[in-house]
């Protein structure tokens, strides 16, 4: 017989980085008993314990596992399988990873010893603990597990202000890819855009300061108007001359950015067409310019 997790299940973390600390704080504020933490870096486990006073820091991951009923394995994605394989699990355990791309397969050694398995991935960018805790409300949580684990993790997500969704194993990589495009890749595009300000004789940080209000407004436009109505800019307006000028400028002053600009423009053009303000003739002219820019 295996045990189903409940609100009173004692929670431990193996891995005490920013995601673990953010989740531990959010859960403890909702009276989930976070009682143990272990990490490759003892100072990280001690820091989690400082932030959540009921959490005892352990040097040995097995000690944290033995103390808990629900164990969050919040190690880096590539390390989850080895952490789970090296530990001893019991039927009373529910082991949960927070990877967006890994399925429950990485938890198989725990399941073979009678434990339940689940995944609980916050679709959010965690840059610091303070920002992480503040960004959890409203975040979507991708959840896997059997019926009882799903119910437990769904209630957990709701308790900390999240929006739970259930995922199938074959969909995890695509789900995670969408988040990486919005998080890591979008921040990379923002960095490239800010660096263009160096060609204006200004520091990159000045570009960041100038562009961040626009990024926030773009997010707000999409949140309130959705796609395609939240799409704006020269593509949606059909400003062929503006696009041509952009391409000429990039060729002359920042040719390394030209492929990125063209690929992004081509990827977004269908949504500009869908919005309805862009005529087929202008859309085709813009498409030709962007494809020519890639040659």
Q: Supply the CATH number for residue 63's domain.
A: 3.40.50.720
Say yes or no: 150 and 66 in one domain: yes
Say yes or no: 138 and 21 in one domain: yes
Residue-level pLDDT at 184: 81
What is the value of pTM for the model shown? Answer: 0.84
Count of domains observed in the chain: 2
Per-residue pLDDT of the chain (295 residues), as tens digits, is 456 787 779 999 999 999 999 999 999 999 999 999 999 999 999 999 999 999 999 999 999 999 999 999 999 899 999 999 999 999 999 999 999 999 999 999 999 999 999 999 999 988 889 888 999 999 999 999 999 999 999 999 999 999 999 999 999 989 988 988 888 888 899 999 999 999 999 999 999 999 999 988 988 898 899 999 988 888 888 889 999 999 999 999 999 999 999 999 999 999 999 998 788 899 999 999 999 999 8
Do residues 40 and 13 touch, judged by C-beta distance below 8 A?
Answer: no
Residue-level pLDDT at 170: 93
Residue 80 lies in a domain: yes
Domain enclosing residue 160, as ranges: 11-167
Say yes or no: 276 and 201 in one domain: yes
139 Cα distance to chain centroid: 9
Say yes or no: 192 and 141 in one domain: no
Residue 3 lies in a domain: no
Residue 162 lies in a domain: yes
Ranges of H-type helices in 78-203:
80-86, 108-112, 129-135, 147-159, 172-180, 186-195
Distance of alpha carbon 73 from alpha carbon 19, whole angstroms: 11
Distance of alpha carbon 181 from alpha carbon 188, whole angstroms: 10
Closest CA to 138 of 161, 111, 167, 172: 161
Say yes or no: 180 and 143 in one domain: no
Say yes or no: 17 and 158 in one domain: yes
Say yes or no: 214 and 260 in one domain: yes
Q: Which of 147, 167, 187 is the last residue of a domain?
A: 167
Which two three-digit tokens encode residue 262?
């063209």
Q: Which residues on adjacent β-strands are paired with residue 36?
A: 12, 56
Say yes or no: 53 and 143 in one domain: yes
Which two three-digit tokens encode residue 214?
């626009």
Residue-level pLDDT at 292: 95
Say yes or no: 251 and 133 in one domain: no
């Amino acid at each position: 017989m295996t045990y189903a997790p409940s609100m009173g299940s004692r929670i431990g973390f193996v891995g005490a980085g920013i995601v673990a600390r953010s989740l531990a704080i959010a859960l403890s504020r909702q009276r989930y008993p976070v009682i143990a933490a272990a990490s490759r870096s003892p100072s990280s486990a001690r820091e989690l314990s400082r932030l959540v006073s009921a959490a005892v820091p352990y040097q040995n991951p097995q000690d944290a596992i033995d103390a808990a009923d629900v164990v969050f394995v919040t190690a880096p994605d590539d390390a989850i399988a080895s952490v789970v394989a090296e530990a001893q699990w019991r039927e009373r355990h529910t082991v949960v990873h927070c990877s967006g791309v890994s399925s429950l397969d990485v938890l198989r050694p725990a399941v073979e010893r009678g434990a339940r398995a689940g995944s609980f991935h916050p679709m959010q960018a965690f840059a610091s603990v303070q920002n992480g805790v503040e960004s959890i409300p409203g975040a979507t949580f991708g959840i896997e597990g059997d019926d009882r684990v799903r119910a437990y993790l769904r209630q957990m997500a709701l308790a900390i202000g999240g929006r739970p969704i259930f995922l199938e194993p074959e969909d995890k990589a695509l789900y995670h890819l969408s988040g990486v495009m919005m998080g890591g890749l979008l921040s990379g595009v923002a960095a490239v855009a800010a660096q263009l300000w160096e060609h204006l004789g200004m520091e990159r940080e000045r570009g960041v300061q100038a562009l961040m209000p626009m990024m926030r407004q773009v997010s707000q436009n999409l949140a309130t108007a959705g796609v395609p109505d939240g799409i704006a800019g020269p593509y949606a307006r059909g400003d062929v001359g503006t696009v041509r000028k952009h391409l000429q400028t990039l060729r002359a002053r920042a040719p390394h950015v030209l492929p990125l600009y063209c690929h992004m423009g081509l990827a977004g053009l269908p949504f500009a067409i869908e919005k309805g303000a862009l005529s087929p003739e202008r859309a085709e002219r813009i498409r030709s310019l962007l494809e020519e820019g890639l040659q």
